[in-house]
Structure 1
Amino acid sequence: MTWTTAERYRSYKSYSEDEKTKLRALAKKSPWRSTFHIEPETGLLNDPNGFSFFNGKWHLFYQHFPFGAVHGLKSWVHLTSSDLVHFEASGLVIYPDTRFDNAGAYSGSALPMGDTLFLMYTGNHRDEHWVRIPYQLGAVVDQKNQVTKCPEPLIYPDFSQTTDHFRDPQLFRVQNQVFLLIGAQTVDKEGKIKVYRAENDALTAWEDLGFLNFSDEKMGYMIECPNLVFVDGRSVLIFCPQGLSQAVCEYKNIYPNLFVIADEFSVSTDNRLIGAGPLQNLDDGFDCYATQAFNAPDGSAYAISWLGLPDTAYETDRFGVQGALSMVKKLSVKDGKLYQTPVEAMKKLRYNERKIQLSDEGIKTDNVFELEFKLEKGTSQTLSVLTDEKNDAALRLQIDSTQLVLTRNYEKRVSHVKIEKMNIFIDKSIFEIFINDGEKVLSGRVFPNENQHLIKSEHPLTIKMWELKK
């Protein structure tokens, strides 16, 4: 089905209950619904937003178009959790219902402010000629999780500096001051990140500090989803450049999700990330984008990603549903490397632990499991996951001591790392692979057929395996 602009931006109120019921029934027919990942009931899920801790709960929002597997008129869904594994959805809480966000509530972030949670997001406004004007908007969540929008934009676009591609505000604190990053395209069509500092405690007035300095390279034509978090004494910038030259950083997906580790964030030194290291891919897999990270009250840093990509179709589209979020990952820096590990509470999903001698005969699974193994020094191995009796595998891992070559159907991704240990999570149509307890991560979507439910190894391999519950 080809969606027209009018269909994508049809008002929510115009959908009948019968239409909504049919959408839910169609989505339930998908054979690839996950067990422990966040997915939309219907329609499209993309960027995670507003990741935060407030009022004794973890809060998370995601961008959502409820009526089809396309990017249409966006809203926000709100979820809460007590353990960063089990999330309870409270439904749509930010609708595109004002003149400032009449064409969509785009991505943003959250910051606790006293007894409220302050949200900031990009309002996608379109005028009568369909010209876009991006407004940076605010909203307040109270103790009862009720959301009230601020009546006027907090930041208006300055078209002398940036184009209409100006979005994804991220709030964060440094030394009792509140700062803001916004992804931007300059008037010269370069990807940049704008920096602001709050001028009042209400976060309704902002000082423009200019652009963030973190690399001498040109960051393509646009930067989306900038995040700055503080991890083990280092400043880590996570962002999504579009149109980035492969000479600057090699990547295989349509757009990369990158990070930079720096020594310090300083606004007194020309908005600079001091001691910024090289650009690196956050995830070496097929589908990871729009990662949002934040620092919890105890200083720990957590991240969650959209397991999808812009301008990409997926097998679930025919069921009117698309998109999922990754597991929450705790961030750490060890020996100058960024590690991403599943939160400790993920272990509570494990049951029926088995130690298995895997071989080319294979074992049968229900495609919801975690397996763990160690690679002996100097050895190599080929692991077929989600495979059938003929060894036609949806995922194949060719492993040696220096790299992993991951094949999904006919596509390949390579992760260069000395491999000692690997944990593989499979959730129906989602995989997340952690090498050496998160030194490297490969994530993505995969859509096995009804016969692909075996695991096989080319050579005998001792694995530890758990089934995973909801």
Structure 2
Amino acid sequence: MEHFDKKAIDQKVAEGLPFAHPLHNRFHLEMPFGLINDPNGLSCAGGEYHIFFQWNPLGCVHKNKCWAHTKTRDFVHYRVPELSLWPSDEHDKDGCYSGCGFAEDGAVRVCYTCNAKNDGVRTSAQRFGTLEADGTVRKDAIAVPDSPDGITEHFRDPYLFYRHGKRYFIIGAQADGEHPRGTALLYEEQKGGWKNRGELKTRLADFGYMWECPNLLRFGDHDVLIFCPQGLPAREYDRQNLYQAGYIVGRMSLDSMDLLQHTKFQELDHGFDFYAPQVVCHEGRHILIGWMGMPDKDEEYPTAEAGWRFSLTMPRVLTLRQGHIYSHPVKELRTLRIESTAKGIDAEMEKSVRETLFAGSEVLLNVMLGEARHVSATLTYGQEKLVFSYDRNEQAVTIDRTGMKKGGRGIRRFRLFADRTLHLHLFVDKTAVEAFFQHGEEAASLFVFPEKEVCPELILESDAPMESVTGCVWELDAIRFDP
């Protein structure tokens, strides 16, 4: 078990802020060094949002899993992140894995998976903890000491929720057998402790070999299960990443342990780099933060050469309409706009519109398609390019980053219906790009790693004159870190 010197690590983080390297992002949460992944412990207490996330402060590999912590009131000003939870005893000596957060009696509490390996055998225990004034998480009682019968050691990522005055948590799992399959279990808090209620039943038979990072949310009278299935085969218009992050919508019966009348599985994000999202519900908003990265694809993220790897997505608000989740960035991020640099776009009957962007940009485009059947929005970085294109005949979006030289490349495709107007909302950071289509009906998160430090140019082109193109480009300021 590695030694973790919190004081020295925290000081090194503070010294690394604000970022100086040209590939560090401006308005995406990341660390000066080490590897970050899953957002954890999202909660709100005392008017502040608490954000924990997986972090290896000792290197850019998936080892030494700790939790870092920061907090914010406005998603613009953040507390300097600090080491908060790290392996320290026989229960979590091989990693403090993912979990959730919640407010209780004015305190911020967490529940996480302890990972321990002894003689090649993994034990996955679920433990509660409490955030203390010095920024560390006090480790409290073990709630569930190991995976139950019929479930392998792949048993992790608890997410706490409330129903009918009782507390439950849902947890990702793998059912044992000749062909292990992904599933999710429900636990109910009772006087004697936490009772395993069994699997949450769905119509998703043999849907991957493991389900990670479940969230169980309530939208009105509908329940939404967000989870990350591993082992799904790619299809022409979806499931094209190595692992997926998506959801099903239905109505949950705690009596029958069934998610009734649920929809098909739908992806939350169609980009290359989105996984392990977590949602906090506060004052009527469901706010999601995801990990910008993909497990088992480390070679696609070259910033490790400079000492860090991966980011978190911008926070998004989720809404549910007719069985489909829409997402859009939280409104607080509008305060990052530098209004003095805003550039309006207003063109009619053109086949090409060009605009030079800033080091960090927000782009809002409304394209009245007119006679155009194929429209592309290209971000050019010198000789390199990233292309978003829409085909009206196919009713599909293609994201093509084969024109980039470093990092992950490839193509992603997904269905999208745009009748007369295509709406595109882009956030272009130094390396992180997030795109929202048709007012948040679909989203895509991805990285590009330009060889040259240049401000990209946006080129909108079509195969026939577009009736009109309107919109705006804003320069975005950087988020701030305060002591």
Q: Secondary structure at the match of 1:219?
A: coil
What's 1:376 paired with?
368
1:241 is the counterpart of 2:243: no
Question: What does residue range 31-180 of structure 1 map to in structure 2 within 5 Å?
Answer: 31-127=22-118, 129-142=119-132, 147-150=137-140, 152-158=141-147, 160-180=149-169
1:220 is the counterpart of 2:212: no
Deviation at 1:307, TM superposition (A): 0.5
Matches of 1:86 and 1:36, distance apart in 2: 11
Identity %: 29
- Compared CA separation, residues 429 and 346, structure 1 to 2 (3 A): same
Deviation at 1:416, TM superposition (A): 1.1
Matches of 1:386 and 1:430, distance apart in 2: 14
Matches of 2:111 and 2:3, distance apart in 1: 23
Matches of 1:144 and 1:21, distance apart in 2: 17
Matches of 1:449 and 1:405, distance apart in 2: 23
Further displaced range: 130-139 or 43-52: 130-139
The answer to which structure, 1 or 2, has the higher relative contact order (CA under 8 A, 6+ apart) is 2
Deviation at 1:320, TM superposition (A): 1.9
Deviation at 1:245, TM superposition (A): 4.0
The residue type paired with residue 277 of structure 2 is: T
What's 1:416 paired with?
415
What's 1:5 paired with?
none
What's 1:3 paired with?
none
What's 2:344 paired with?
355
What's 1:300 paired with?
285
Deviation at 1:159, TM superposition (A): 5.1
- Of 4, 8, 20, which residue of structure 2 is paired with 1:12? 4
The residue type paired with residue 437 of structure 2 is: I
Further displaced range: 311-320 or 27-36: 27-36
Further displaced range: 306-315 or 108-117: 108-117
What's 2:249 paired with?
261
The residue type paired with residue 78 of structure 2 is: F
Deviation at 1:205, TM superposition (A): 1.5
Deviation at 1:156, TM superposition (A): 1.5
Contact kept, 8 Å, 2:237 with 2:414, in 1: the verdict is: no
The residue type paired with residue 267 of structure 1 is: L
Deviation at 1:452, TM superposition (A): 6.2
Cα offsets for 1:227-259 (capped at 9, x unmatched): 111124321111011112447994111101111
- Of 156, 174, 184, which residue of structure 2 is paired with 1:193? 184
Contact kept, 8 Å, 2:236 with 2:413, in 1: the verdict is: no
Matches of 1:300 and 1:326, distance apart in 2: 17
* CA RMSD after TM alignment: 2.7
Deviation at 1:55, TM superposition (A): 2.1
Matches of 2:324 and 2:355, distance apart in 1: 35
What's 2:430 paired with?
428
What's 1:446 paired with?
448
Q: Secondary structure at the match of 2:264?
A: coil
1:466 is the counterpart of 2:474: yes
Matches of 1:17 and 1:333, distance apart in 2: 44
TM-score by length of 1: 0.89
Matches of 1:26 and 1:41, distance apart in 2: 7
1:282 is the counterpart of 2:271: no
- Compared CA separation, residues 116 and 347, structure 1 to 2 (3 A): same
More strand by share: 2
Deviation at 1:299, TM superposition (A): 3.3
Matches of 2:116 and 2:436, distance apart in 1: 40
- Compared CA separation, residues 125 and 29, structure 1 to 2 (3 A): same
- Compared CA separation, residues 78 and 17, structure 1 to 2 (3 A): closer
Matches of 1:267 and 1:137, distance apart in 2: 24
- Compared CA separation, residues 444 and 214, structure 1 to 2 (3 A): same
Further displaced range: 372-381 or 330-339: 372-381
Cα offsets for 1:316-357 (capped at 9, x unmatched): 111121110001111111233210111111111112221135
Contact kept, 8 Å, 1:191 with 1:219, in 2: the verdict is: yes
Cα offsets for 1:422-450 (capped at 9, x unmatched): 10001110011011221000111111221
Contact kept, 8 Å, 1:229 with 1:294, in 2: the verdict is: no
What's 1:406 paired with?
399
- Compared CA separation, residues 266 and 372, structure 1 to 2 (3 A): same
Deviation at 1:364, TM superposition (A): 2.8
Matches of 1:135 and 1:228, distance apart in 2: 20
Q: Secondary structure at the match of 1:12?
A: coil
Deviation at 1:146, TM superposition (A): 5.4
Contact kept, 8 Å, 1:169 with 1:180, in 2: the verdict is: yes
Contact kept, 8 Å, 2:326 with 2:440, in 1: the verdict is: yes
1:456 is the counterpart of 2:448: no
Further displaced range: 396-405 or 316-325: 396-405
- Compared CA separation, residues 274 and 90, structure 1 to 2 (3 A): same
Structure 2: runs of 5 or more not aligned: 403-408, 479-483
The residue type paired with residue 311 of structure 2 is: A
Matches of 1:302 and 1:315, distance apart in 2: 29
Contact kept, 8 Å, 1:159 with 1:187, in 2: the verdict is: no
Cα offsets for 1:285-325 (capped at 9, x unmatched): 111000101322x3321111000010112111111211100
Matches of 1:161 and 1:428, distance apart in 2: 46
Matches of 2:19 and 2:93, distance apart in 1: 30
Further displaced range: 221-230 or 141-150: 141-150
